[in-house]
Structure 1
Amino acid sequence: MGLSLSAEKTLITHIEEGLDFLGWRIQRHHKRGTNRHYVYTYPSRNAVHTVTGKVKDQCRQTGPNLPLDVLLFNINRMLRGWCTYFRPGVSSKAFNYVGHYAWGRVIRWLRRKHRKMNWKELRRRYCGGRWWPSGETVALFNAGAVHTTRYRYRGAAIPAPWPLAGR
C-alpha cells in the first residue's frame, strides 16, 4: 500500500515501561496485596500538564475587572470536558490534583482582584464562608468529585454481529 512508519511516532516498548497514547498512559503495574499484574490506563503527565496550563492561561487572560462568574464559566467548561474524556481510566488522583490546582489558581485570581482584602473577607464574600469559590450563578467545578467509570460490565447489552438463525 506504500505506507511507511514514522520513526518519531513509532514506539516498540515493554508493557512494564508503558506508553503514552492519545493522552493516556498505558502501563502494567503490580496490584498491592496480591501477586497479580494488571494493565492500568490513566492520564499521562503531558495531559495533566496541558490542562493545568490551560487553567493558568485562563486565569491570566481574564482580567481582574471582570466578575468571577466569567472566569468560573470558562474554567468549568475546560475541566468538565477533560474529566469526561479521562473518566473511564484510573484517574481519581489526577482529578484531585487538577481540582486542587484550579482551586489555587482561582484563589490567586481573587487575591489579585482584591489586593487589600484579607483571607477571611475573601472567603466570606466569594466562598460563602466555606472554602469552595463560587460566583453569583456559577460555582467552581470540583474535578476531584468526579467518579470514574472503570470496568463497566455490559453483559448481553452488546449486540451480536450475526443474526439469530434457526430460531
Structure 2
Amino acid sequence: MCRKEVEEPLKVVRHVLERLDLSLNETKTHIVDATQASFNFLGFTIQMSRGAKTGKPYPNVRPADKSLKSIKARLTELTGRNLTPIPLSDLVGSVNRSLRGWANYFHYRNSSAAMSKVRQHAEDRLRTHLMKRHKIRNRKAALCRFPRRDLYERYGLYKPAYGSGLELGACLGVKNIGKPCAGKSHARFDEGGQVKPCPLLYTITLPLLRL
C-alpha cells in the first residue's frame, strides 16, 4: 500500500522477487485508488471511509461478502439434517472448529457487523439441527426449548466476539499468512501511523507470486 505514487515500490518488489527467482504476475496486478473504490485482499474488503462523527478518513477493513457467504455455507453443511445420527458433541465440535478459525482470522478492524451475522447464523443452524434431531416442527417451540443461552452453555457452541478487531492504523503489514482451519498461522496485521486526508493508492497482487 502506498500513499502516493506506486512505480518506485513496484520496482522494489520486482527487484526482490527477481533475486528470489520469482516474478510478479503482471496480469493479476492492478492499482486501486481506495478513496474512490473498494477492493478485496486476503478475504477482506478494504476502502477508505470517513468517520460518521468526526468526518476523518480511515481504512475500512471488513470481511468480504464472499468470505461471509463461504462460512455461512460451511456452517449450513456441518449442521445438515443428514448428520442427526452422529453424536451431537462431535457435530458441535466440527462447527466450533470452523467457526473459531474463521473468527480468529477475520476478527480485525471493522468486523463487528460480519461477526454478528455469522454468530446469528451459527445459532439458527444449530437450533434448526436440534429441531430435526428432536422432531420439533414449530419454530416458536424450538426457541423456547433451545434458547440462545443454552446453545452456548449447554451445547457448547463457540461464541465469536462482537467487537471490532485491532485499533485503527494507516499501514497494514501482512505476515504469517495462513488459511483458517488449515493448521497454519493465521494472518496478522501490524499497524502504522495515523491516517492523513490524502489519497491512498494500493497495489494489489493476487496472487502476488508466480513460480
1:12 to 28, 31, 54: 31
Match of 2:7 in 1: none
Root-mean-square deviation (CA), in Å? 2.8
Residue type at the aligned position of 2:90 = V
Query: Given that residues 13 and 19 in structure 1 are in contact (C-alpha distance below 8 angstroms), is that contact kept between their aligned partners in structure 2?
Result: yes
Query: Given that residues 41 and 89 in structure 1 are in contact (C-alpha distance below 8 angstroms), is that contact kept between their aligned partners in structure 2?
Result: yes
Once residues 57 and 24 of structure 1 are traced to their aligned partners in structure 2, the CA distance between those partners, rounded to angstroms, is: 23
Gap regions ≥5 residues in structure 1 = 154-167
1:94 to 79, 89, 114: 114
Once residues 97 and 134 of structure 1 are traced to their aligned partners in structure 2, the CA distance between those partners, rounded to angstroms, is: 16
1:47 to 67, 82, 93: 67
State TM-score, norm by structure 1: 0.73
Once residues 32 and 59 of structure 2 are traced to their aligned partners in structure 1, the CA distance between those partners, rounded to angstroms, is: 14
Query: Given that residues 68 and 135 in structure 1 are in contact (C-alpha distance below 8 angstroms), is that contact kept between their aligned partners in structure 2?
Result: no
Gap regions ≥5 residues in structure 2 = 1-17, 170-211
Gap change, CA 1:115 and 1:122, over 3 Å in 2: farther
Residue type at the aligned position of 1:49 = K
Bigger share in strand: 2
Query: Given that residues 81 and 132 in structure 2 are in contact (C-alpha distance below 8 angstroms), is that contact kept between their aligned partners in structure 1?
Result: no
Deviation of 1:13 (Å): 2.1
Once residues 165 and 153 of structure 2 are traced to their aligned partners in structure 1, the CA distance between those partners, rounded to angstroms, is: 32
Deviation of 1:74 (Å): 0.7
Gap change, CA 1:111 and 1:33, over 3 Å in 2: same
State TM-score, norm by structure 2: 0.60
Query: Given that residues 103 and 132 in structure 1 are in contact (C-alpha distance below 8 angstroms), is that contact kept between their aligned partners in structure 2?
Result: no
Once residues 82 and 164 of structure 2 are traced to their aligned partners in structure 1, the CA distance between those partners, rounded to angstroms, is: 31
**1:53 partner SS:** helix
Query: Given that residues 59 and 168 in structure 2 are in contact (C-alpha distance below 8 angstroms), is that contact kept between their aligned partners in structure 1?
Result: no
**1:11 partner SS:** strand
Residue type at the aligned position of 1:148 = S
Q: Runs of at least 4 residues of structure 1 off by over 4 A?
A: 116-119, 135-138
Select the structure of larger CA radius of gyration. 1
Q: Give the % identical residues.
A: 24
Deviation of 1:138 (Å): 4.5
Residue type at the aligned position of 1:85 = Y
Deviates more, 1:110-119 or 1:35-44: 110-119
Point out which structure has higher relative CO (alpha carbons under 8 A, 6+ apart): 2
Query: Given that residues 62 and 71 in structure 1 are in contact (C-alpha distance below 8 angstroms), is that contact kept between their aligned partners in structure 2?
Result: no
Residue type at the aligned position of 2:85 = N
Match of 1:109 in 2: 129
**1:33 partner SS:** coil
Deviation of 1:146 (Å): 4.5
Gap change, CA 1:110 and 1:20, over 3 Å in 2: same
Query: Given that residues 69 and 136 in structure 1 are in contact (C-alpha distance below 8 angstroms), is that contact kept between their aligned partners in structure 2?
Result: no
Residue type at the aligned position of 2:33 = H
